[in-house]
Amino acid sequence: MIELQKKYARDLLTHVNPYTKTAYTQEPAIAFVEISNEDALFAVWGWGQLDNLPEPYATTFRKQWNAWLRKKYGDTAKLRAAWNIGASPLGDEMLVNGDFSKPLGREWSVERDADTRCTVSIVTSPLPQAGEGQGVRVAAPQAGEGKQAKGPKSPASTKKQARSRKPAAEGKAVQSPGRFLRIAVERQGQVAWRPQLVQAGFAVKKDTPYTLTFLARADQARRASVNCMMAHEPWERLGLSADIKLTDQWKTFRYTFVAERDDSNARISFSSLVPGTYELAGVSLRPGGIAGLEPGQTLEDDSVPVLRRSEIHLTKPARRDFIDFLWDTERDYWHGMHRFLKQELGLRALVSGTQLSYSPAHIQAGLDYIDSHSYWHHPAFPNRPWDSRDWYVHNAALVNSPGGTLARLAATRVAGMAFTVSEYNHPAPIQYAAEGFPMIAAFGAFQGWDGIYSFAYCHNTDFEPRRVDSFFDVKGDPAKLAHWPACAALFLRGDVAPARTTLLAPVPAEAERAKLHETMSAWTIQAGEFGVDPNLSLVHGVAMDLRAKGGKAEAPKLDKNQKTFVSDTGQLRWDVSQPGAGYFTADTPRTKLFTGFVRGRTFSLGEVTLSIGPTRLDWATISLVALEGKGFDQPGRVLVTATGLVENTDAQLEKLGDDRVTLRNRWGREPVLCEGVPAEVLLPVDAQRVKLYALDASGNRRASATVRSRDGKAVLELGPRHKTIWYEAEIR
């Protein structure tokens, strides 16, 4: 497969442009080459996508693993001696009434809300007599079945973290259970996880292994979720978060996981039940289930199996070996492809491997630059991926969540290397999405980032539509496009000054490896795991120091109750002092930015003051850019852009509960309807020196607008009567 990828790269990059007579390897217009987008061995293994590899890939992968072990240990005897340290047999049962031999009581409960419609019953099914050959067969567990995966920590996680994961494999057939629980779902609740079956009240200990087994089936092929999590606020996962694939045949599922923390009140929950019928039997949770090298597995015949992400049942030495194998295999691949592109093909463009967090930092730092992706509330598809009728976004404003996606991106930067964000967006139909690009432009400039891309301008050949037609394409969204001149000034022109102090999180190679051994996930290789709170990026620069020799990060502690964050340059401010009414500002000599909730407040941006009137969301984004001159008191033109609610004509926004909304496939028609924002902008010049013009869609002057005088200064009057979202102020 690697050789085929090299052939593809050679065919593509050595192509000679017939017009310029230049091969793509030498083409100045090609600035960057990425080897494989959002794709890495650590990531796909972590998603469970290697657990059931088809042949011949499964054999190839297993042989690579056995060859790596032979190189380290030499023979099976030495491997067995190392791996059997820390084996843990199964202990006593932790759940009550897991066989449903008694009526449902306090132990098992079904969580509903006002919209949930479901019935729950215990069914007794007579077992077939010997020789009858009747009844449903059940898959019995085998070593390596089931799954366990650590889920993403927040909704701004990049989009691939939300992929579905593979279920446990089928095992040996056994007879149908005599008693089982049946849940018939007529309608889901206000949130996708209701109804859910829960048993709570048991304790788990950090770093202790547990094994959950159960039998399950459904009326047809369906998916469900199983978790071990807190039975109390903040409802965090405790080591198990799995997606199970059910059929109309009974199957046994087995999940061995290691608790991530101590908790005295944990719970097992079965959720994400869509309308249909589900049946469950023989639910068991027991401590233990960790083994070393099993009898019959030898290095000499390449029979030591690959560790499955769905069944973390091996001892700590075995797990560490497998993580080291993944790391070495990834390094050889990425660095080998980099050498091929740069040395054999002579590619002059900068080369990245994939996005940081999909792959460990010390591997990706061996290429030319570091890249990351993020989305503020990526669309979610609760049932079928990318179903155009069944999806939702969280209609929430980033300004109410200090740090958010931006702090998480800052935590993945590597000191001393170029850093880009090649995918970013606040997807439609989030009503506050205009905040996204101005905020990342200002924040990225403050952090010293090198490139920011929107995902995406366009996915088809309809380049200038008159409506918003998808989650990500910005081509028809005035609320995003109109502020791009301000984004260019903030980031490209350098109006925002870089941080005066950069806090470094020391991540030497041995520290990275220790974290990978602990978490088995490259997503944890970021500054927050090594002593620098990502939200410190609201005040200072933040980066990981891969060249550090060790030691601890020298970083201040943020007050957990802090409500206002001001950059050490004084130019950026993120304020959540009023609950639910956050705002973000950039105050530079040549660009001013406000985005957030108004609540009747007046906002001072240096010598410029904003007074914003009532809007439909009590929210607005206003940017001012001095197109010439050194400031807003100098002769020249100023571009003023003010946006509020923006939506297509006849768009039908449907609320699903909490802050979830969807349009299904009812995006609406053209034209886009833009709210006219009433506002007064006070400039530090005499009103006689200023003329104001409302601009048309192409940026041409359409009509004069009012400039008043207040205390000897010019007041620009913006409002719905001008039927525009941007203006040009001319200062003479």
The mean pLDDT of the chain is 91
Q: Under a CB-based contact definition with an 8 Å cutoff, are residues 682 and 639 in contact?
A: no
Mean pLDDT of all residues in 283-299: 93
* pLDDT the model gives residue 242: 84
Q: Is the pLDDT of residue 709 over 60?
A: yes
Question: pLDDT digits over 59-92, tens only?
Answer: 999 999 999 999 999 999 999 999 998 888 999 9
Residue 162 has pLDDT above 50, yes or no: no
- Which residues lie closer than 8 Å to 209 by C-beta, 6 or more apart? 88, 256, 257, 258, 259, 287, 288, 289, 290, 312, 313
Query: Could you identify the residue written with the tokens 């993120």?
Result: 574
How much is the pLDDT for 193?
86
Residue 140 has pLDDT above 50, yes or no: no
Confidence at 219, pLDDT banded by 50, 70, 90? very high
**For residue range 540-560, what is the model confidence (pLDDT) as tens digits?**
999 999 999 988 999 999 998
Q: Tell me: pLDDT of 142 over 80.
A: no
User: Nearest to residue 420, comparing CAs of 453, 464, 447, 392?
Assistant: 453
Please give the pLDDT value at position 175. Answer: 62
97: left (phi over 0), alpha (psi -120 to 50) or beta: left
Distance from the Cα of residue 59 to its chain's centroid:
32
**Prediction pTM value:** 0.85
In angstroms, the CA 216 to CA 212 distance is: 13
Q: Any residues with CB less than 8 A from the CB of 569 and at least 6 apart, and which?
A: 446, 496, 497, 498, 499, 500
> Please, are residues 179 and 341 in contact by the beta-carbon 8 Å criterion?
no
According to DSSP, the β-strands at 419-425 and 370-375 are parallel
Residue 670 C-alpha from the chain's centroid: 32
- Percent with pLDDT over 90 in the chain: 82
339: CB partners within 8 A, 6+ apart:
none
684's tokens: 């530090």
Question: How far, in Å, CA of 529 to CA of 532, rounded?
Answer: 7
152: confidence class by pLDDT, cuts 50, 70, 90:
very low
At 420, the pLDDT band (50, 70, 90 cuts) reads: very high
